[in-house]
Every structure is written in C-alpha cells, then in structure tokens.
Amino acid sequence: MSVEKPPVEICKGVHGLDKVVLREVRGSSAEVYLYGGHVTSWRNDHGEELLFLSTKADFKPPKAIRGGIPICFPQFGSHGNLDQHGFARNRFWSIDTNPPPFPTVSINKAFIDLIFKPSEEDLKIWPHSYEFRLRITLGPGGDLMLTSRIRNIDAKPFSFTFAYHTYLSVSDISEVRVEGLETLDFLDNLKAKERFTEQGDAITFESEVDKIYLATPTKIAIIDHEKKRTFVLRKDGLPDAVVWNPWEKKAKSMADFGDDDYKHMLCVEAAAVEKAITLKPGEEWKGRLELSAVPSSYRSGQLDPQRVLQG
Ligand code: BG6
C-alpha cells in the first residue's frame, strides 16, 4: 500500500540543512532550503528537473547555493557597497507561521511562507529594519510562483535593489533563444555597465553574456529547441531582466561550477536594478515571479512566437 506524501513536507536536505518539499497532486514538486530562502528544485509532473543546480553546488553556508533561485537582496550584483548580490541568499530564513493575508487565496496550491528579518550583525552592514516575507507556491498545473513582500519597519526610508536569480535548466545553451527582450536597452556588465540597445532578433547565445535589460515586458519566453520546451516567465513589480551565462572561461574560474555546466543553464532574472526601490516607514513592496514550462509550439523549424507569448 503506497502512502501518499503530504503537499508540504519539512525535512532535511544536503548536509542536514532544513528543506521544505512542495508537492502537487499531479506529480510536480519544488524544494526550498531555509538557508537563503532558496528554491533548489522544481520538477514537472514527469519528474523532470526544470531548474539548473551546479554539479559542484556545495550547500555550505556562508556560501550561497549555486543554482536554483537565489534571492538577491538588498543589493543586486555590485550595484552598491555590499557584497555581491547582498546577503539574503546567505542567511537562514524561518518558516512564517502567521503571515499577513494575501488578497488572493491560495486554494488547491501547495505553498510555504518564509520570513527573513535582519540580525544585529546584519544591521551593522545595512542599518535598516524590515520584514522580508516570501511565499513559494506550486500551482495545480505545476507552475512555480514566488511572491516577496518587503516591509519597512524602520523610522527612516531605505532603498534596495533586488533579483530572483533564476537558473533555468536547458538542454544545450546553443539551442536556446529568449523572446521578449528584442530592441530593448540594456546595461552590459561585461562592458563596465555601459548602456546599449538590443537589435531586433530574439536573443541567442554563443559566448559569455551578462546583461541587465531595462523596462522589460511582464512576460519573457525562453525557448529550448532541443527539449521542445518553453519556459514562460511572468513578473510583477520587477521592471528589469538580467540574462547571464558565464560561458567556458568564467565557468572554469568558479569553484562551485562544473566546467561544462554553462552548456546546461541560463539565468533569466526578474529584477529591479536600474531604479532602486524606496520604501518609506510602514510601506511594503511586492515583487512576484511566476514560472511555467510548456511544450514549445515548434514545428519543422518554425516557432510561433505569438503563441508562445500569448499562452
Ligand atoms: C549575475 C550577475 O546575476 O550573477 C553576474 O549579473 C554574476 O555578474 C552572476 O557573475 C553570479 O554571481 P555570483 O555572486 O552568484 O557568483
């Protein structure tokens, strides 16, 4: 007799770190580490992993886990005086047992609420008081949703930048294209953050890329030709989109990244970077990411971008 697994299970992961497993009745699942408030796995109802996790990910605090969805807060990248990507990804989060209600009710969905509050040590490096609540939800169709709510509980305003640093798993980076970012302006991290304008074609990859696309649409499609799979990324409250692949040389220089791992990943990160978000005392900001994976409408060399972008 098989015992049905619960929709939300709190258990131990790598190195005994606390982990939450979300399961949806049709078989999709997600795994979240309290370390970093970090989603490390998202599987569809065939059990296929949809997020990239480095073959050398070491799950050893204080280092961030390489892969999945690290949270970059209160600073994206090197856009400020803090360490790269801030510190939320290197802190232990807690389960939030009594979060303030959401306007929409999560019926028929497996979800977990996490909270991160700064410690005395954190306040020394970034002297602002806040509550960062993160709800991670697995929808009935296997969609993965992350909602961040950051509330200023300080007496002064503060500003921050942010990203859901999503590592998508792809079959072969050379077979991937991104639609929705054509013709947009971007800051090129490989050229001292200089501003350029993307040309008209969908974006494909043949070398290192590290770009912050500005004022992006709420929907971006990442098409994996070989897998015939399209990731649809929807976002709210996050105007920018970072696209990153370290390619061969940089991959070799990263201790927690396999030499060939760059072939099987692409980061497309819903972000707020160019314009920092400012919260007055008592104000709350909300930033949402929704990911779905659907079969590509790819037939004999022809994609139908309209279908991809409307679906
Ligand atoms: C990306 C940045 O978001 O993250 C890159 O745009 C950076 O510049 C990459 O190299 C990885 O960062 P980290 O700190 O996780 O090695």
- Residue 92: C-alpha distances to residues 34, 69, 133, 298 (Å): 6, 15, 13, 42
Scored b (16 or more CB within 10 A) or e, 41-57 reads bbbbeeeeebbbbbeeb
- Is the pLDDT at 220 greater than 50? The verdict is yes
Count of H-run helices and E-run strands, the chain:
3, 22
pLDDT at residue number 299: 44
Within 6 A (CB) of ligand 1 lie 64, 77, 84-85, 165, 189, 210, 242, 244, 269
Beta bridge partners of 287: 148
Q: How far is the CA of 23 from the centre of ligand 1 (A)?
A: 30
For residue 1, what pLDDT is reported?
55
Please state the rounded mean pLDDT for residues 287-303.
Answer: 76
pLDDT tens per residue, range 17-66? 999 999 999 999 999 999 999 999 999 999 999 999 999 999 999 999 99
Helix (H) or strand (E) holding 247: helix 247-253
Cβ distance 75 to 61 under 8 Å?
Answer: no
Cα distances (Å, whole numbers) of residue 83 to 72, 89, 217, 310 = 11, 11, 29, 39
Which of 85, 167, 245 to probe ligand 1 with, by most ligand atoms within 8 A of CB? Answer: 85
Report pLDDT digits (tens) over 108-157: 789 999 999 999 999 999 999 999 999 999 998 999 999 999 999 999 99
Single-letter code of the amino acid located at 301 = G
What is the per-residue pLDDT across 255-270, written as a single tens digit (0 to 9) for each?
A: 999 999 999 999 999 9
Other Cβ atoms closer than 10 A to 275: 12
pLDDT of 106 reads 66
pTM for this predicted structure: 0.94
CA of 178 to the centre of ligand 1 (A): 19
Name the residue with the closest Cα to ligand 1, atom 2: 77
Q: What pLDDT sits at residue 104? A: 72
The tokens describing 93, both together, are: 């989060």
Give, for ligand 1, the residue of 83, 165, 213, 214 to mutate: max count of ligand atoms closer than 8 Å to Cβ: 165
Residue in 208, 205, 211, 201 with CA at minimum distance from that of residue 173:
205
Q: 221 Cβ partners below 8 Å, 6+ apart?
A: 178, 179, 180, 230, 231, 232, 233, 305, 308, 309
For range 147-169, the mean pLDDT? 98
Query: Which atom of ligand 1 lies closest to the CA of 269?
Result: 3
Percent of the chain exceeding pLDDT 90 equals 88
| Model confidence band, residue 310 (pLDDT cutoffs 50, 70, 90) | low
